[in-house]
Structure formats: C-alpha cells, structure tokens
Amino acid sequence: MKIFYFLFALITYSYSQDTSPTPTTTPQCNAPNTKYSNCTNLCGEKNCNNYNKPSPCFSLRCGPPACVCNEEYVFLSGEHSEGCVTKEQCPTLNRR
C-alpha cells in the first residue's frame, strides 16, 4: 500500500511540473513610433483628428493588448497601421 501512495505522489508531482517553455517575446509593432502595450486605453487612443478634443469616455479598466503610440505621439488617423506622429506633425484638417 505504501508503494501505491509513493507512486501516486511521484506521478502527481511529475505531472505538476510544467517543462514547456513559456513564450517571453513581446509582439512587434511595425508602425512608426509605436510600442506594444498589455493595457490599452479602453476609450480609444488619441489621433490627429481628436487629440485636442475632450473625450466623453472615462475608464480605469484596461482595453485589449495592442500597439499604442510612444509618449508625446498620437495616431496619424483612426487607422492605426499608419503609425504615430507628434501633434505638431498632424496634417491640417481644413486645407483648401
């Protein structure tokens, strides 16, 4: 009977040891001036069209992981694949 308990404990212990490596790589962001964040703005990231407007949304919760702009940058447009620019680099919206 003691051997049964010993084998049971040994098998349980061996199954509890996870030997598979866990990925430690961070997803890459290809757009200019962006970085990957595990906690994004649930209300949406600022872009050239809305960076100077007050947001009607407020949340302390994290949004889904994604690429965000580096500090002092905003997305060029709502299409995040275009990358981020400084506010001074935002194109004039009312050119005629």
27, two tokens: 């997803």
* H helices present in 1-96, as ranges: 2-16
Which pLDDT value is given to residue 70?
A: 97
Per-residue pLDDT reduced to its tens digit, 31-77: 999 999 999 999 989 999 999 999 889 999 999 999 999 999 999 98
Q: What percent of the chain has pLDDT over 90?
A: 53
Residue 75 lies in a domain: yes
- What CATH code is carried by the domain that includes residue 35? 2.10.25.10
Residue 72 lies in a domain: yes
Residue 45 lies in a domain: yes
Residue 15 lies in a domain: no
DSSP string over the chain = -HHHHHHHHHHHHHHH---SPPP-PPPP--STTEEEESSEETT---BTTTTTS--S---SSEE--EEEEPTTEEESSS-GGG-EEEGGGSPPTT--
Residue 17 lies in a domain: no
Structural domain harbouring 62 = 26-96
Partnered with residue 47 across adjacent β-strands are 75
Residue 65 lies in a domain: yes
Q: How many folded domains does the chain comprise?
A: 1
Residue 3 lies in a domain: no
